[in-house]
Structure 1
Amino acid sequence: MLAVVAQLGLIIYFGALIGVLTKAPWVYPYSWHPICMGLYGFVATEGILLLQPNVKGKQRALSRTVHGSLLSLALVSAVIGFWAVYENKDRLGKVHFHTNHAYLGCAAVFVFALQVLFGLSVAYAPKALYRKIGQARITRIHRVAGYISILLVWGTLWLAVVTNWVNRNFNQEWIFYLGLGMVAVGLVGQVNPSRLYLTRKSSSVTP
């Protein structure tokens, strides 16, 4: 049920964003910023939701592969979106990083990049590299970092609602907040505190 609430919240938030994009005039390269950052937030959230059920065996392996692919796609979108807004400010001679949205967005992309690179290295690097840490502890570190990362992503998306671009082209901000609230309830409600401890309590812990 909570997963359905989160999915509906995603549809509401990003449906409203699509509405803004269709109404706003096209400005190159800036217009690529909300498009790519919207894709980044949507795909990253789907990647997190995918691993909320505690599945096992072949289904777990498939879920982890899709999870990594989705988050890699989200990172590529984030980098392009970051480039778009940076290039646009350079073109207009504006100051970089002078709003809370910019500060939090930069932190979100940085933490997300570290999280994705760490996950890929755990999946594809030689197993001996992380043997001393232990699979259970690595899984929990990755999971906690993932929740922190998605919190930063959605904090940035929340601040995006009050940007000048949204205010000029959309006057129903409550729709964004409704979507944000539903995603928050759907994500937080599925967090199992027992899966967040960073110390290994038993060998039965699975990713």
Structure 2
Amino acid sequence: MLAVVAQLGLFIYFGTLTGVLTKAPWVYPYSWHPICMGLYGFVATEGILLLQPSKKGKQRALSRTVHGSLLSLALVSAVVGFWAIYDNKERLHKEHFHSNHALLGCTAVFVFALQVLFGLSVAYAPKALYRRIGQARITRIHRVAGYISISLVWGTLWLAVVTNWVKRNFNHEWVFYLGMGMVAVGLVGQITPSRLYLTRKRNSVAASTLEQ
């Protein structure tokens, strides 16, 4: 049920953004910024939602492969979106990174890039490279960092709603907020203490009890 709420929220937010994009005049290269950043946010969130339900065996392996592919696509979109806004400001001789939206957006893309590169290296680098860290600890780091990363992404998307570009082309910001709220409920509602490794697994507790 929570996954359905999150999916509906995604389609409300990004469906509305698509409508704004079709209404707004095309400005090169600026227009590529909301297009690519919208794709980045949508695909990144879908990649997180994909792994929320617990899966086993081949289904789990397939989900991880699709997860990695989606987040890689999201990273490429983020880089293109970053280039678009940077190049646009260069052409107009405007100051870079002066707004909260820009600063948080840069932070979000940087953290997201580190997260994706770490995940890909764990998946495809020689296993001996991470043997000392341990699989359980790697999973913990990657999962918690993923929640932090997607929070930064959505923080940036929230600040995007109050930018001049959105205000000029759409005057019903509450629709964006509705979508964001549904995504937040759907995502946060599925984060349990065990997913954050704040509780010990039952078998670990049982094992320690036997040792005593």
TM superposition score normalised by structure 1 = 0.96
Is 1:22 the equivalent of 2:22? yes
Contact 1:137 1:199 in 2 (8 A): no
Distance change in 2, residues 1:69/1:200 (3 Å): farther
Post-superposition shift, 1:194?
1.3
CA-to-aligned-CA distance 1:27-81 (integer Å, 9 cap, x gap): 0000000000000000000000000011010000000000000000000000000
Partner of 1:121, secondary structure, is helix
Q: Find the residue that maps to 1:193 and give its secondary structure.
A: coil
Larger-gyration structure (1/2): 2
Distance (whole Å) between structure 2 residues aligned to residue 141 and residue 202 of structure 1 = 21
Contact 1:137 1:198 in 2 (8 A): no
User: Where do 1:148-163 residues align within 5 Å?
Assistant: 148-163=148-163
Distance in 1 (alpha carbons) for counterparts of 2:168 and 2:69: 35
Compared CA separation, residues 36 and 203, structure 1 to 2 (3 A): farther
C-alpha distance in 1, partners of 2:85/2:168? 17
Question: Which letter maps to 1:78?
Answer: A
1:144 is matched with 144
Task: Specify the SS of the correspondent of 1:25.
Answer: coil
Aligned structure 1 segments of 4 or more residues deviating by more than 2 angstroms: 197-204
Structure 2 partner of 1:105: 105
> How far is 1:197 from its partner?
2.6
How many Å separate the matches in 1 of 2:202 and 2:3?
28
1:189 corresponding residue in structure 2: 189
Partner deviation per Cα, 1:78-136 (whole Å, 9 max, x = no partner): 00000000000000000000100000000000000000000000000000000011001
Q: Distance in 2 between matches of 1:13 and 1:195?
A: 26
* C-alpha spacing 1:170/1:136, structure 2 compared with 1 (3 Å): same
- The whole-number CA distance in structure 1 between the counterparts of 2:161 and 2:108 is 16
Aligned to 2:84: 84
Are the counterparts in 1 of residues 194 and 200 from structure 2 also a CA contact under 8 Å? no
1:39 paired residue number: 39
Identity %, equivalent residues: 88
Aligned length: 204
CA distance in 2, matches of 1:180, 1:192: 20
Q: Return the letter of the residue paired with 1:10.
A: L
Secondary structure of the structure 2 residue equivalent to 1:103 = helix
Q: Gaps spanning 5+ residues in structure 1: where? A: none
Residue 94 of structure 1 corresponds to 94
Unmatched 5+ stretches in structure 2:
205-212
Sort the Cα spacing of 1:202 and 1:124 in 2 relative to 1 into closer, same or farther, 3 A: farther
Q: CA–CA distance in 1 between the matches of 2:203 and 2:86?
A: 46
Name the residue aligned to 2:207: none
